Chain A
Amino acid sequence: MRPFGAIAAALLTASAVCAAEIPQADRRSGYSFMKADTKAMQDEDTANPGMLWVLDGEALWKRKLGAANKACADCHGDARTSMKGIAARYPAFDKAAGRPIDLEQRINSCRSNHQQATPLPFESRELLALTAFVSRQSQGTPIETGADPQLAPFIARGGERYMQRQGQLNLACANCHDDNWDKKLVGSAITQGHPTGYPLYRLEWQSLGSLQRRLRACITGIRAQAYDYGAPELVELELYLMSRARGMAMEAPGVRP
């Protein structure tokens, strides 16, 4: 049933490099590695800087625009009900594209096809705001990404990429996030790399950022060539990470150090 089993099996046989998949019971959000004051910042809506983007997103949700002069709300109504649980299922298979797309890409496809407006650039304030607003409607919802069997080959490819060493430092994602998540890299907790909180506010960025931004930072960190925003390889990594976190609660907008 779960395409995950195949990946785990590949992991166990393929290389001596990686230990094993983190047992379900030991999975922990990046949240649990944080200091009390950072946790409090995420927990309190009034203290969570990500809520500024959520509020912007709510305004954008209702704004009519594009050649179609339609707002998101004209098709989807009240996001509190229509968008509940949606972010917890992304990336999802897109028939037109024939491959998975993430939430940002879904929002942009609604923008081009239904609002007939130009797509928003990745990491633009507006795209982050809409994504944060939609994701917020899934806060507390368990992640379900990956249930669609059509996604299996894409999850497998993301998983391979996760296990594969790359870059001048010759490290795989798994070397840090599966094998060394209880350790510190120059003093910062490595964490298990679960994508539960995105888009999230990073104190280091002084901004909200997407999961793709985070992944590009890790890839550049090991001195590998970062994939462009929107590249299928990045979406497959997002998909793998989300299905790896299946059952964990969504936290967006999260806060991280």
Chain B
Amino acid sequence: MSAPILVGALLALPGGTAAQELRSYSVVGDAIPEPLTNARGDAARGRALVVERSSTCILCHSGPFPEQKFQGDLAPDLAGSGSRSSEGQLRLRLVDASRLNAATIMPSYYRVDGLDRVGTLWRGKPILSAEQIEDIVAYLMTLRE
């Protein structure tokens, strides 16, 4: 089954707010095969981002982070992510998990539309930048079982 290629839907930003332009990307099936940035992601930076509270991952997920005393248990353990998913699947999961599962509680990290009552501090901005997403994808790909 050949999946439709959806490009640039995210560029239609609401007017007025100082919205940040998101880069366009193509969804193929359940994945975004191409990186969002030209430079490759950096796995070490990705790990640091995942365990940092402000990235919000460990609010819900646990993972192979022995130095983190507090981890969430609302979501699957991240260990083995790189064996379970391809790079492109992980990218779409981070960019907009709701495309994979409309009822998911996992936030869409690279999306600014379709959200309600976003606080002024965060309005018009994605949770993570394209570079940060690539770093995290690179890190998750190293988590093999």
In the complex with contacts A168-B127, A175-B105, A187-B118 CB distance below 8 A:
no
Judged by a CB distance under 8 angstroms, whether B1 is at the interface is: no
Using CB atoms, name the residue of chain A closest to B69.
A187
Chain A residue contacts of B12, Cβ below 8 A: none
- Of residues 119 through 135 on chain B, the ones whose CB sits less than 8 Å from some CB of chain A are 119-122, 125, 127
Using CB atoms, name the residue of chain B closest to A175.
B105
Judged by a CB distance under 8 angstroms, whether B107 is at the interface is: yes
Whether B72 lies near A166 (C-beta < 8 A) is no
Judged by a CB distance under 8 angstroms, whether A207 is at the interface is: no
- A219-242 interface code vs B (CB 8 A; 1 in, 0 out): 010011110000000000000000
Whether B116 lies near A165 (C-beta < 8 A) is yes
Whether A225 lies near B118 (C-beta < 8 A) is yes
Judged by a CB distance under 8 angstroms, whether A105 is at the interface is: no
Binding-face segment, A81-89, A138-146, A177-185: A177-185
Minimum Cβ distance to chain A for residue B29 (Å): 22
B contact patch SS? loop
Whether A224 lies near B58 (C-beta < 8 A) is no
A167 partner, pick from B74, B105, B115, beta carbons under 8 A: B115
Minimum Cβ distance to chain B for residue A191 (Å): 13
B103 partner, pick from A16, A223, A226, beta carbons under 8 A: A16
Whether B118 lies near A167 (C-beta < 8 A) is yes
Judged by a CB distance under 8 angstroms, whether B71 is at the interface is: yes
- A8-29 interface code vs B (CB 8 A; 1 in, 0 out): 0000000111000000000000
Chain B residue contacts of A220, Cβ below 8 A: 119
Minimum Cβ distance to chain B for residue A236 (Å): 14
Judged by a CB distance under 8 angstroms, whether B53 is at the interface is: yes
Chain A residue contacts of B72, Cβ below 8 A: 183-187
CA distance A226 to B122 in the complex (A): 12
CA distance A223 to B124 in the complex (A): 12
Judged by a CB distance under 8 angstroms, whether B60 is at the interface is: yes
In the complex with contacts A17-B103, A169-B56, A170-B108, A184-B73 CB distance below 8 A:
yes
CA distance A164 to B60 in the complex (A): 20
Taking beta carbons and an 8 Å cutoff, which residues of A are in contact with B?
Answer: 15-17, 164-171, 175, 179-180, 183-188, 220, 223-226
In the A-B complex, the 5 residue pairs with the smallest Cβ-Cβ separation, listed nearest first, are A187-B70, A168-B122, A166-B117, A169-B107, A225-B119
Taking beta carbons and an 8 Å cutoff, which residues of B are in contact with A?
Answer: 53, 56, 58-60, 69-74, 98, 102-103, 105, 107-108, 115-122, 125, 127
